Amino acid sequence: MQSHTIKIWAWVHKWSSLICTLFMLLLCLTGLPLIFHHEIGHLLGTEVEAPAMPKDTPHASLDKVLELARAQHPDRIVQFVSKSDDTDDIWYVTMTHTPANTDDFRTVIVDARTTELLAPQLRFDEGFMWVMFRLHVDLFAGLPGKLFLGFMGLLLLVAIVSGVVLYAPFMRKLEFGTVRRERTARVKWLDLHNLLGIVTLVWLFVVGATGMINTWADLVIKYWQHDQLSSVLAPYQGQPTVALAERAPVQQSLDAAMQQVPGSKLSFIAFPGTSYSSPHHNTVFLRGDEPLTSKLLRPVLVDAKTSAVTAAPQIPWYLTALLVSQPLHFGDYGGRVMQIIWALLDIASIFVLGTGLYLWLKKGRAAAQPVDRKLAGKTTPQEATP
């Protein structure tokens, strides 16, 4: 590689790394507890478990569950109702003052079999894990914060690619994994930085890419609604949001959706007027029962008045990419083993980012000192620009 080309790649690697490093450190630090959010939730008491009952215990009508939830917060409306991936025996009812997205929500947890109230007012908008989540997702800045972090993720990908380009000629002179302990402290840290950078390369690229995609979620969903649902909703144009008194039992909507897509499981239901539905439908989001298909959602739009299925569109490729990237980002595919691997790689990435920042700070102090050329013969691009 020509010297001029190396200098260009070194400049790209230097500035893309420096600009994103502090934010990537923040994301790695906040992402570490989020990998174990279920386990930490159990410790903090924010994870609720259903009491043990025979597996064939029948479930009560969803309308009874909603009636109980509304009685706890009569001043609020039901925005979503959902089930977790782990069990079908618990309903999570999300209630707000308005159908629009808001941080002011309450979650009522109800036993799906007995309609027993398990948690009347569980809050997910406070506490340690909520702070970690908001810092990781949007820096408490909403959509602008998400897009900013997405741009930082893009710079991370640029830094990774440029680092690989610079690492290739560097390693022609050294064996893989070499740490030159007899050299200066800066050179030893540089070798460790390069070694762990290559070891974590694929993981950091995958996590950075999926994290960047996740920051586009709000925009992707809005585009999907405009692109895929506008023709479906054309017959309802001009009609007001269906009132609660005019709606058919929600259990009928759920049954109709399950019959439309046999062999699926419920993920959540979005009610009329909310961000994931239309003003006229209960939108039932179903998922598969296999490890991969369990992360993919199939929306079924059910008329809230008649309980008739209006549409069950296949999700487009860009929404599939979003749904796959979300669990992959946090290592939610492979159980506990995957979580541990993700955590170890996260810690290694913190080291890579921290040493990169250290090397840049040390470079200024060492600039006036003579360069040790005893073993290398000349300064490598990596010694000049970490």
Strand spans (E) along the chain: 77-82, 90-96, 105-111, 117-122, 265-270, 281-287, 297-303, 309-311
CB 91 within 8 A of CB 81: yes
Per-residue pLDDT of the chain (386 residues; tens, 9 = 90+): 567 788 888 899 889 988 998 999 999 999 999 999 888 887 877 778 888 888 889 999 999 999 999 999 999 999 999 987 778 899 999 999 888 777 788 899 999 999 999 887 777 777 888 999 999 999 999 999 999 999 999 999 999 898 888 876 666 666 655 666 666 666 676 777 677 777 788 888 999 999 999 999 999 988 988 888 888 888 888 888 888 889 999 999 999 999 999 989 999 999 998 888 889 999 999 998 776 678 889 999 999 999 999 999 888 899 989 988 888 888 777 678 888 989 998 998 888 888 877 777 776 555 545 444 443 444 443 343 33
What is the separation of C-alpha 372 from the centre of its chain, rounded to a whole number of angstroms? 45
- The SS3 call for residue 276 is coil
CB 44 within 8 A of CB 127: yes
- For residue 245, the tally of other CB atoms under 10 A from its CB is 5
Which phi and psi angles does 117 have, rounded to 5°? -75, 115
